[in-house]
Structure 1
Amino acid sequence: MSDYDLSPLWISLRIAGLATAITFGVGTLAAYGMLHYRGRWRSLIEALLLAPLVLPPTMVGFLLLLLFGRRTLLGQLLASLNLSVIFTWYAGVITAVVVALPLMYRTALGAFQQIDPTLVAAARTLGASRAKIFTQVLIPLALPGILAGVTLSFARALGEFGATLMLAGNIPGRTQTLSMAIFFAVQAGDMRGAAISSALVLMLSLGVMTAVNLWFQRRPWQRPPSRPLQVLTRRDLDFSTPAPRLWVDIDKKLPQFELQAQLSCDGRPLGLLGASGSGKSLLLRCIAGIETPDGGRILLNERALFDAEQGIRLPPAQRRVGVIFQNYALFPHLTVAQNIAFGIPAGLSEAEKQERIQAQLRLVKLKGWENRYPTELSGGQQQRVALARALASEPEILLLDEPFSALDAHLRSQLEQEMGEILADYKGVTLLVTHNIEEAFRLCGDLAVMEQGRIIAQGDKRQLFEAPPCLSVAQLTGCKNISRAKLLGPQRVLALDWGCELQVQGSPAGEYIAIRAHHLTFRPDGKLPNTFPAWLVKWSETPHRLTLFFKLGSPPAHRQDYHLQAEVWRERWREVEGWGSPWWLQLDPRHLRVF
């Protein structure tokens, strides 16, 4: 190899290196710009960006030759400046950029699209600017894809031949790259020179890809979880600010759904109940500023977060809203301490930031875990970090989107108790989204029920549970026994689906009658009002309670032939189980509700 000309190697490295750097910057910015662009020119812009990927390289070179030729405006402008592109080494850079850019663009765009949008939403609610989100969230999380695009771009630029030959020519020592050296060596019969050049191209391409793969394997935040669960038992939090108030009256139309929600909330935690798809999470996203309503207003402490009439739409960064997302939305590339620090307002000294981080770690009992990554934490620990991160930003309102849905029953109970203590002392507004009535009842003072995008009831939890204003509220708050009803007279109703006449209290105007499963009572005989013989059809059980399915009036014909569900403690069932079949089941008039 002593007589081998190394100039094609240095020319190739110079062209490929510079082209890769340019492609990285342009391709990444183009991908970021196209990530959310849905304008009328999107298809045309993408077609132009991807065209060099499908066009023959010689055709690309010819088009570039026309573009930089002396008869074009660009060529004339360069000539007036005494500059020439054609047959220079930087012509090779231009062709390498053009042919490698599509690979960089598509790879970076795909990497950005794979990022969980909840992470971006979380960053916005924590006060991050677009520049901070781009540099500290999107780029680090998309880095595997971006570097894959860089390696592909480098390999493509290193091996470019046709377009470079058209624009830069094959001038030994000036524009002759390794690809050209291989081609012309073969034409000249110099198989040894062609083999050496091919080996150099192969080693460079494989070396870059291998180095990138080894770097990825050593990233600490990709390690699998390996730490045991730490039990959270108590906390200490105090805010001295007065109890704030939230007022919402908004509407938002989607293709197959319309949100029209009105609610208010003071210092007591408000539980938002509703079936899946009722609009609960959408309402939270509108309050946080992640989604924009079409009309209405959102006020927090008499401060307008959104007002359609006045044109007010505060960005999430200015709303002082803390959001606990269903999947916690921790940044996987940041440590626990860095996640908490992400939401700390700017302007504090480094010592003050560290003091606040340590205070939040003590609050959630994760002292000593600050250098762990989210993948090294259990689900409960991740939830606590998400809570600490939200509280570190000193929010005026906490929005919790089903925070316990991903936890097992034991951990759910522990963290629910801890969350209850935090919410009891937190002086801001709290809005908890859930579909679990028991969870909402334990954590919240007030409840709001949402159905098909509308708040259909709101009030004190006990009042709403004991006296639901409509059938939908009764169903969404857990009432399982509902029958069509026919009025027979004053305080007399025929339950059509249960086949029995019932005595009720008040004025029984309505089409349905309902009673909760735990309000059914076992009696030793049928002397009391609304007491009927009942046959047990089937049952289901938990460790402490049983759900019993009964048919009134006659034995069942099959396992689906039942009228009512009764929920009883296991100890109570042991007392009445021996009473024999049929049992006497009372539908207490005090607990019957007619809708």
Structure 2
Amino acid sequence: MDLSPLWISLKTSLLATVITFFIGIATAYWMLGYRGKGKSLIEGIFIAPLILPPTVVGFLLLLFFGRNGPVGKLMQPFDLSIVFTWYGAAIAATVVAFPIMYKTALGAFEQIDGNLLRVARTLGASESTIFWRISLPLAFPGIVAATSLAFARALGEFGATLMLAGNIPGQTQTIPMAIYFAVEAGAMNEAWFWAIAIMSISLSGIIGVNLWQENRGQQKQRNSPFPQGMKNQDFQKCETSNQTDLSGLFVDITKKLPGFRLQVCFSAQSNTLGFLGGSGAGKSMILRCIAGIETPTKGTIILNGRVLFDSEKGINLPSRDRRIGFLMQNYALFPHLTVMQNIAFGLPKTLSKLAIQQQVQAQLIAVQLEGLENRYPHQLSGGQQQRVALARALAIQPEALLLDEPFSALDTYLRYQLQEQLIATLSTYAGVTLFVTHNLEEAYEVCQQLLVMSQGQIIANDDKQNIFDHPNSYTVAQLTGCKNFSPVKVISSNQVQALDWDCTLKVTEPLPQSAVYIGIRAHHLSFTSDPNAENTFPCWLVRKRETPHRMTLYLRLHNAKNKSHDYHLQAEVFKEKWVNIKDKPFPWYVRLDMNKLFVMPE
């Protein structure tokens, strides 16, 4: 039997696969970032061969490459022709296989976590470096699948090939055409032979890719020290103008966001500045603008005299040139790189291999991860991943370090351990540190300065002790965890009537002209046996709530009521204190220390 259809099919389909491999990947990656006009039209053209009948595609190719077509006319002086040659068969196979390669590769690129690309930019990587070292390796399994599908499609192409290359035995006759004409001639045995051959080749490629992907996934699972379902444990006033000659970070930006307008103005020096506020207040967006991941609508960002962003001057440095380390919530470790490769990712390529190893080892020692340099992220616990991400951010010696809720994904036990590790690390870091959190205890423990935000606005910016002891507004007091508030009526320069609590209180701090509320934190309430002490009132326990170490007591002043929701104050006491007071007869006497009360505007 003449086996030329086999060799012609393999030759044309392999060439078509190679061409679609490079063009498909390049086109998919370009379309991934394309935001121009006509995107839908361009994509429609790319996938048209997938939905048009193959004979229509072949007819269009014949018009394009034929003797009177644009390409055909260009080739006539060289006595060259594409029509009725195996090159024509390869071109036809390429055109019909391209949409499959393009769409599958595009899907693979779209599945990559965008935070990985953003953090790579903050580490100084160029777009080409990001493509070769991050995007392409992570999309590679999908691209392999796309290649096998494109090969199978090219191998089975019939209509377009027949129109452009014809059916010339020994020259352009591929397996699909051999099957068709064998059936027409009544040679069923020959048709069966070629049908089984083409199915075997196509299915072998697809099955091989599937087996490779399954083995790859199983290998990762075997390498992971943490079985699925097991909890990972780890035991280990702002003015920015004319500031270009000063150290520190200066930010004065505005950005329109859905629902509100982010407008902030602040400065930060070497102390850790914490951003405190509810979800959606704009905290993380500020970090993203500083890192160059997002672009403010207008404003200025200056770091150690370098202008990173200036809307009036048209300056907007790319992330890779800002020298800023960014630790994201999910850490964004590159899953296909080892711990050493992750930490070394942002180091200059001019460094020798030995210098890179030394710097990585220094970072591993600093975060107590010696010996783990050859592990992959999926082989690490949550706490270890966080420390690798911190080491990677610090390895590039950034002038500013941005921490976006770095403990949010960790359990309580790990959180406390890693807070201590982070505090120790930051104590030796000379740059600017911004720490975003919504956890009050984290903010107080890690940061020296606090900036409180609400709906895109800064409502307080002060030393953390002043923020907690003397909140400047009702909203700030709420966001910093105060639970006891009452509207007030000013009686004298040092006395107010708390309307909700139905009591008169003496205060020490000067009353603001617009005094509206009085507040006291739950843990500042104290119980006394002296009913005549200042700011002391009889109280009854309405209900209580227990935590592992503390009791929250809901108290009603002056009289007892049985309704659990009818209370005046919340008091928090350690359980050791609760044991001493729980059996005492009512009324108890609660004291509101005048030094702990704060009066504030709304």
User: Is 1:520–2:519 an aligned residue pair?
Assistant: no
Conserved in 1, the CA contact under 8 Å of 2:234 and 2:382? no
Inter-partner Cα distance in structure 2 for 1:405 and 1:396: 24
Q: Is the 8 A contact 2:346 2:395 kept in 1?
A: yes
Residue 150 of structure 2: which of 142, 153, 171 is its match? 153
2:313 aligns with 310
One-letter identity of the residue aligned with 1:185? A
Question: What's 1:568 paired with?
Answer: 573
1:493 is the counterpart of 2:496: yes
Match of 2:545 among 517, 528, 540: 540
Alignment of 1:435-474 (within 5 A): 435-474=438-477
2:32 equivalent in structure 1: 35
Counterpart of 1:236 in structure 2 is none
Code of the residue aligned with 2:415 in structure 1: it is R
Native 8 Å contact 1:244 1:427 kept in 2: no
CA distance in 2, matches of 1:482, 1:176: 87
Separation in 2, partners of 1:68, 1:186: 30
- Which residue is equivalent to 2:225? 226
Change (3 A) 1:76 1:584: same
Letter in 1 for 2:235: V
Residue type at the aligned position of 1:530? N
Asked if 1:298 is matched to 2:297, the reply is no
Residue 514 of structure 1: CA displacement? 1.4
On the 8 A contact 1:225/1:378 being kept in 2, the answer is no
Q: 1:216 matched to which residue of 2? A: 213
Q: For residues 402 and 177 of structure 1, do their structure 2 counterparts lie closer, same or farther at Cα, with a shift above 3 Å needed?
A: same
Alignment of 1:247-262 (within 5 A): 247-262=250-265
Distance in 1 (CA, whole Å) between partners of 2:330 and 2:431 is: 23
Secondary structure in 2 matching 1:573: helix
Cα distance, 1:531 vs structure 2:
2.1
Residue 222 to residue 510, structure 1, CA distance change in 2 (3 Å): same
CA shift digits 1:11-56 (9 cap, x unpaired) = 1111111111111111111111111212211011011111111111
Structure 2 counterpart SS, 1:273 = strand
Contact 1:457–1:469 under 8 Å retained in 2: yes
C-alpha separation between the residues in 2 aligned to 1:307 and 1:201? 61
How many angstroms apart in 1 are the aligned matches of 2:175 and 2:421?
A: 66
Contact 1:19–1:157 (8 Å) recurs in 2: yes
Q: SS where residue 425 of structure 1 aligns? A: coil
Range with greater deviation from structure 2 (535-544 or 502-511) = 502-511
Residue number in structure 2 paired with 1:281: 284
Question: Normalized against structure 1, the TM-score is what?
Answer: 0.94
Mapping for residues 72-221 of structure 1, pairs under 5 Å: 72-219=69-216, 221=220
Q: Is the 8 A contact 2:8 2:173 kept in 1?
A: yes
Aligned-pair CA distance for 1:494: 3.2
Paired residues, number: 582
How many angstroms apart in 1 are the aligned matches of 2:483 and 2:147? 59
Match of 1:237 in 2: none
- For the 8 Å contact 1:269–1:429, the answer to whether it is kept is yes
- Equivalent position of 1:507 in the other structure: 511
The equivalent residue for 1:49 is 46
- 1:425-436 matches, within 5 Å, as 425-436=428-439
> 1:407 maps to which residue?
410
Once the two structures are superposed, residues 278-331 of structure 1 have per-residue CA deviations (whole angstroms, 9 ceiling, x without a partner) of 111110011111111121111111111111222221111111111111101000
Q: What is aligned with 1:338?
A: 341
Amino acid of the residue matched to residue 153 of structure 1? Answer: A
Q: Deviations over 1:165-208 (max 9, x none)?
A: 11111111111111111111111111111111111111111211
Give the CA RMSD over aligned residues: 1.7
> Quick one: which of 550, 556, 572 aligns to 2:561?
556
Return the match for 2:423 from 404, 420, 424: 420
Matched-pair identity in %: 57
Which moves more between the two structures, 11-20 or 539-548?
Answer: 539-548
SS class of match (1:548): strand
- 2:542–2:562 Cα contact (<8 Å) kept: no
Partner Cα distance (2:284, 2:61) in 1: 51
Runs of 4+ in 1 over 4 A off after TM superposition: 220-224, 227-230
Residue type of the alignment partner of 1:225? S
Is the CA contact 1:259–1:279 (under 8 Å) kept in the aligned structure 2? yes
Aligned mates of 1:99, 1:580 — CA distance in 2:
87
Question: Which of 327, 332, 335 is residue 329 of structure 1 equivalent to?
Answer: 332
Q: Would the alpha carbon gap of residues 222 and 286 (structure 1) be closer, same or farther in structure 2, given more than 3 Å must change?
A: farther
Residues 257 and 12 of structure 1: CA distance in aligned 2, closer, same or farther (over 3 Å): farther
Q: Does 1:59 align with 2:56?
A: yes
Q: What whole-Å deviation, never above 9, does each CA across 1:348-384 have from its counterpart, x for those lacking one?
A: 1111111111222222222221111100100001011
Name structure 1 gaps, 5 residues minimum.
Answer: 233-242
1:214 to partner: Cα distance: 2.7
| The 10-residue stretch of structure 1 (222-231 or 319-328) with the greater mean CA deviation from structure 2 | 222-231
Q: Secondary structure at the match of 2:595?
A: helix
CA contact (8 A) 1:520 1:587 kept: yes
AA paired with 1:55?
Answer: L
CA distance in 2 between partners of 1:473 and 1:91 (Å):
73
* Distance (Å, rounded) in 2 between the aligned partners of 1:224 and 1:587: 58
Find the aligned partners of 2:500 and 2:204 in 1 and give their Cα distance.
75
1:22 is matched with 19
Q: Tell me if structure 2 keeps the 8 A contact 1:526–1:533.
A: yes
Equivalent of 1:348, from 342, 351, 373?
351
Q: Structure 2: which 5+ runs fail to align?
A: 227-231, 237-245
The answer to whether the aligner puts 1:372 opposite 2:375 as a matched pair is yes
- The SS at the match of 1:590 is coil
Q: Secondary structure at the match of 2:251?
A: strand
> Shift of residue 146 of structure 1?
1.3
Q: Which residue of 2 aligns with 1:238?
A: none
